[in-house]
């Protein structure tokens, strides 16, 4: 049987950790993994009102080394280890221009979008390497291809993540561990909508950040499930010969060379 084109139960027996899984894309990934048969642990800085049925939630701030260590310990305690690791935590609000971005915001984005995955990988991929199996997905952003001054605290941190992801893929490939990236375009999420409202207030004459559905060649904004399906594919056996890939999922809006 197939579910959305994927074999039902294809993640049966897999243990997955998804960061930033309380809403939006992260929550969609959690639900999709659960439907595919995985055991899922997810996390965010604050506990949400609801957690997808079947998932385990722990509160953790992955921006710090201590938070990453606490989350890794929780994954070992709850899951007994990790087979699939998805780094989804992230997000940023725009500023009027690059000079208006405060110093602490630059550091916060580096901690959240780049150093959090680095730290968590350093704690959890050695076990994957030893077992010679595992899959890691970093969630970046299609906006890296066209960085805007108002988001220069965010897109360079994501660009660093993409570069690191490629290097880590080369490092772990000899041990059967695959590392890939998914770069979403404009997706209809609560966080995305909040960002677009701030953008509209700062740039009333320029239209919505990243354009609207009319600017997407496929004619609509993305949905969280669109990204979740891409993530599922990359961690599944169907992508067993893919590593070091950056899969842009944006309806064709952001061209990449």
Evaluate whether 150 touches 199 at the Cβ level (below 8 Å): yes
Structure tokens at 223: 């949905």
Sequence-separated (6 or more) residues with CB below 8 Å from residue 133: 83, 176, 177
Evaluate whether 182 touches 234 at the Cβ level (below 8 Å): yes
- How big is the CA angle at 221 (ends 254 and 244), to the nearest 5 degrees? 45
Burial of residue 13 (CB within 10 Å: 0-12, 13-18, 19+) is exposed
Listed in order, strand segments (DSSP E) in the chain are: 2-3, 6-7, 15-19, 39-44, 56-59, 84-87, 134-139, 177-184, 246-249
Packing angle, helices 224-235 and 24-35, rounded to 10: 50
Q: Per the residue annotation, which of 95, 114, 154, 164 is the catalytic one? A: 154
Instruction: List 173's β-bridge partners, or say none.
Output: none
Structure tokens at 64: 């710090």
Percent helix, strand, coil in the chain, to 5, is: 45, 15, 35
Minimal CA–CA distance to 143: which of 100, 199, 105? 199
Q: d(Cα 231, Cα 40) in Å, to the nearest integer?
A: 14
Whether residue 154 lies in the annotated active site: yes
Instruction: Provide the annotated active-site residues.
Output: 154
């Amino acid at each position: 049987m197939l579910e959305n084109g994927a074999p039902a139960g294809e993640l049966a027996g897999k243990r997955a950790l998804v960061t930033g899984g309380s809403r939006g894309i992260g929550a969609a990934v959690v639900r999709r993994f659960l439907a595919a048969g995985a055991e899922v642990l997810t996390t965010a800085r604050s506990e949400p009102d609801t957690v997808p049925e079947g998932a385990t939630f722990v509160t953790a701030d992955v921006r710090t080394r201590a938070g990453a260590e606490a989350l890794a310990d929780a994954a070992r305690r709850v899951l007994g280890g990790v087979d699939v690791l998805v780094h989804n935590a992230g997000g940023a609000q725009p500023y009027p221009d690059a000079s208006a971005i405060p110093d602490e915001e630059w550091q916060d984005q580096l901690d959240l979008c780049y150093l959090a995955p680095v730290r968590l990988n350093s704690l959890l991929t050695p076990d994957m390497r030893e077992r010679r199996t595992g899959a890691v997905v970093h969630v970046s952003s299609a906006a890296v291809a066209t960085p805007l001054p108002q988001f220069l605290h965010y897109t360079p941190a994501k660009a660093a993540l993409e570069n690191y992801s490629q290097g880590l893929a080369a490092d772990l490939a000899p041990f059967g561990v695959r590392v890939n990236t998914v770069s979403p375009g404009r997706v209809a999420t609560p966080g995305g909508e909040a960002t677009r409202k701030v953008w509209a207030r700062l740039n009333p004459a320029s239209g919505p950040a990243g354009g609207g559905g009319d600017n997407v060649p496929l004619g609509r904004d993305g949905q969280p499930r669109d990204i979740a399906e891409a993530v599922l594919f990359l961690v599944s056996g169907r992508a067993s010969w893919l590593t070091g890939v950056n899969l842009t999922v944006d309806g064709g809006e952001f061209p990449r060379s």
